[in-house]
Amino acid sequence: MKNYKIVTLGCKVNHFESEAIDQYLKNAEWHDAEPEGKADVVIINTCTVTQKASMQSRQTIRQAIRSNPNARIMVTGCYAQTGTKEIKKIKGVHDIIGSALKHRIPQSILSSPESKRPDSPVIIVPDINREQLFKQTPVGISSKRTRPFLKIQDGCNAFCSYCVVPYARGRSRSMTAEDVLEKIKLLSDSGYKETVLTGVHLGCYGKDFSSGIKSLYSLLKRIEESGTINRVRLSSIEPHELTTEIIDLVASSSILCHHFHIPLQSGDDQILEMMNRPYKAERFRELVLQIRKSIPKAAIGVDVLIGFPGESEEAFDSTYELIKELPVTYLHVFPFSPRKETPAFRYPNQVNNAVVKKRCKKMRELGKLKKKKFLQQSVGKTTEILIEEKPDKKSGLLKGISDNYIIVLLDGSRYLKNTIVKVRIDKVFDDNSVMGILH
């Protein structure tokens, strides 16, 4: 029996694609090597969204080569697409496969499991901008997660001035609504209670279609009408693409989770314009208040990008004060990372690293306060949670998640795993973990 390892860096989309490759190989009777075991093939699914991510991708490749000296080393993902020259310099890499051909990796392994270990790697990185169709690894439904990801969209047309993703993923492409509904039914039939719809630019879903379902709202409405699974959660969606229709549908839905994750990036209009973000801070303010009015218990997560070129103290304060006054739930805070492929790399007035670090710390502290306040408001209330397969690492207790993204610890039988149970939120600990009691 052949052994393989898959190492994944980066976003939910990457993880979904790795899981598809994993299941394909298992179906072909290959064996997933233990973390410390030796593999015949190692696949590194890389990320390049920041300079740090690219560096971590290189480090991961080198570590895989050292740990598996006799293995075929295959590098794919976003860094393989944009950083081919750098990866080529790493001795021991056998295959560099671009984003457009990631779905063919399993067939490549099965058709040629033995690597000839050439002096230089085989590079198959076609122009991602030529891709027009949504592609996926042909595989049955399976996941190591209690709440599996389902990639329904790929690529991005936005070209924000700081972002390398369109160069790594190509233009926006969508899975057909029929395929989405079929995959969700397969997940439900396989025993899963929740799926997370994900994509590189989820709000662009369907815009590449000339007929049929051509919007995320229309797709969600079809999913709601089908009623084939207990829960459907949305991953990140842009402020200008989170419409009143979608909010109202989620508010009235029996399966769409009361959870939105919205990339704000900046609360300063001038910075937003330089970022090539097609909205103003006031639109974000109105959106958050609209969500809170329509769905009072909704979780509202926000992405913030700190230290964009030209971000003055006043511009940062505008972002900070906007978030401070709004009822958001949690923050994901990222420092600006200059990428050579993007316009922002050449922008003047780059912000000092020490200043960026200080601002990030201040914003993250605000995020902790926001989350604590949101969780404290849930104390004494009853909610339904989906119990995860894996217990909490620190306490060993069962761990579950509510539809509005509250992670609840629970003392109970392991037989509750992958079931939806009612709990009463009992208390919030200093680390923002929450204890629940079976209702």
Residue 141 covered by a domain: no
* Max Cα distance, the chain (Å): 64
DSSP string, 139-180: -----SSSS-EEEEEE------TT--HHHHH-S-EE--HHHH
**d(C-alpha 366, C-alpha 374), whole Å:** 12
**d(C-alpha 219, C-alpha 225), whole Å:** 10
**CB crowding 36-51: b at 16 or more within 10 Å, else e:** eeebbbbbbbbbbbbe
State the average pLDDT for the chain.
93
111 and 196 in a single domain? The answer is no
Strands, E assignment, 206-278: 231-234, 259-265
Residue 133 covered by a domain: no
400 and 372 in a single domain? The answer is no
Closest Cα partner for 198 from 212, 209, 184, 186?
184
CATH number at residue 87: 3.40.50.12160
From 76, 99, 128, the end of a domain falls on: 128
Phi, psi torsion values for 257, nearest 5 degrees: -70, 145
Residue 26 covered by a domain: yes
72-77 vs 330-335, strand pairing mode = unpaired
DSSP tag of 343: G
Average pLDDT over residues 126-134: 90
H or E stretch covering 51: helix 51-67
Contact at 8 Å (CB) between 160 and 277? Answer: yes
Whole domain around residue 295: which residue ranges? 149-376
335 and 425 in a single domain? The answer is no
Share of the chain residues as helix, strand and coil, in percent rounded to the nearest 5: 40, 20, 40
**d(C-alpha 397, C-alpha 269), whole Å:** 45
Residue 238 covered by a domain: yes
From 344, 376, 408, the end of a domain falls on: 376
224 and 201 in a single domain? The answer is yes
188 and 332 in a single domain? The answer is yes
20 and 167 in a single domain? The answer is no
17 and 73 in a single domain? The answer is yes
175 and 290 in a single domain? The answer is yes
Residue 140 covered by a domain: no
From 360, 376, 392, the end of a domain falls on: 376
Strand partners, 401: 386, 407
Residue 48 covered by a domain: yes
Residue 136 covered by a domain: no
Residue 28: is its pLDDT beyond 60? yes
Residue 113: is its pLDDT beyond 80? no
Contact at 8 Å (CB) between 95 and 72? Answer: yes
Residue 75 covered by a domain: yes
**d(C-alpha 224, C-alpha 143), whole Å:** 23
Contact at 8 Å (CB) between 237 and 260? Answer: yes
Question: What's the predicted TM-score (pTM) here?
Answer: 0.94
Task: Provide the token pair at 234.
Answer: 């949305």
190 and 210 in a single domain? The answer is yes
180-232 pLDDT per residue, tens = 999 999 999 999 999 999 999 999 999 999 999 999 999 999 999 999 999 99
178 and 37 in a single domain? The answer is no
Task: Provide the token pair at 83.
Answer: 């950083």
DSSP tag of 232: E
Task: Provide the token pair at 265.
Answer: 């990036």
Predicted pLDDT of residue 47: 97
Closest Cα partner for 194 from 233, 153, 252, 244?
233
Average pLDDT over residues 11-18: 92
314-329 pLDDT per residue, tens = 999 999 999 999 999 9
Number of independent structural domains in the chain? 3
15 and 153 in a single domain? The answer is no
CATH number at residue 358: 3.80.30.20
CATH number at residue 393: 2.40.50
- Long-range interactions of 57-60: CB distance < 8 A, separation 24+: 57/9, 57/83, 58/86, 58/87, 58/90, 60/7, 60/9
235-293 pLDDT per residue, tens = 999 999 999 999 999 999 999 999 999 999 999 999 999 999 999 999 999 999 999 99
Average pLDDT over residues 389-411: 94
Predicted pLDDT of residue 145: 86
Residue 345: is its pLDDT beyond 80? yes
**d(C-alpha 298, C-alpha 260), whole Å:** 7
165 and 303 in a single domain? The answer is yes
Residue 116: is its pLDDT beyond 60? no
Closest Cα partner for 394 from 430, 370, 353?
430
